[in-house]
């Protein structure tokens, strides 16, 4: 990362509003064991290696340059933060459909990978897990926007309810 000097002549704007088309592009994680993390992201979640630089590996779904970067730039076996400390709570991986989420869940079950939780949020269905370094991951699929729950004024209503895992797994055929 290169440091940038901001000119003193920078001006103050009215309240800034982000571009509505902005998306989170990728995540880059420092890991304690590159091989162990690679096995998880490649073999369990199914991401493809795009580039392996030895101390850093870049993975994606398809041929995008990278969705996830893994590096071992800190010392091998570095201690992970304790539960409940400041830092990344989780990052989310959006699946293209409920069927694809169901297939991912089926694979987690088949590989006996521990699942931390599963929730129905009204707008989406989510499965929660942790990678080998304890980073939280939400894998989820959005419902069709027209079915999102709204109040009488049209304002979006989100909630957290138990996800019907058996119903979701029926999609994995």
Q: What are the sequence ranges of the domains in the chain?
A: 26-76, 90-173
**pLDDT at residue 8, as a whole number:** 62
What proportion of the chain, given as a percentage, has pLDDT over 70?
A: 91
150 beta partners: 156
Identical topology for domains 26-76 and 90-173: yes
CATH 3.30.9.100 fits 90-173, yes or no: no
Cβ 106 vs Cβ 172: under 8 Å: yes
**pLDDT at residue 116, as a whole number:** 96
Query: How confident is the model over 75-82, as a mean pLDDT?
Result: 71
Predicted confidence (pLDDT) at residue 166 exceeds the cutoff of 90 = yes
Q: Please, what CATH class does the domain formed by 26-76 belong to? A: alpha beta
CB burial of 63-77 (b: ≥16 within 10 Å; e: otherwise) equals eeebbbbbbbeeeee
**pLDDT at residue 40, as a whole number:** 97
CA-based max dimension of the chain? 60
pTM for this model (two decimals): 0.81
């Amino acid at each position: 990362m290169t440091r940038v000097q901001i000119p003193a002549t920078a001006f103050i704007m009215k309240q800034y509003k982000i571009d509505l088309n902005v998306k989170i592009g990728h995540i880059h994680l420092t890991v304690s064991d590159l091989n162990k993390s690679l096995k998880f992201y490649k073999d369990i979640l199914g991401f493809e290696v795009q580039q392996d630089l030895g101390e850093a590996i870049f993975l994606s779904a398809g041929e995008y340059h990278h969705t996830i970067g893994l590096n071992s730039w800190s010392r091998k076996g570095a201690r992970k933060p304790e539960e409940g400390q400041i830092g990344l709570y989780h990052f989310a991986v959006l699946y293209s459909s409920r069927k694809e989420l169901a297939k991912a869940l089926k694979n987690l079950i088949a590989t006996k990978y521990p699942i931390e939780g599963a929730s129905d949020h009204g707008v989406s269905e989510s499965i929660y897990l942790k990678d080998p370094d304890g980073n939280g991951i939400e894998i989820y699929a959005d419902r069709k926007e027209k079915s999102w729950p709204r109040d009488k004024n049209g304002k979006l209503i989100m909630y957290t309810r138990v996800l019907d895992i058996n119903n979701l797994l029926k999609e994995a055929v």
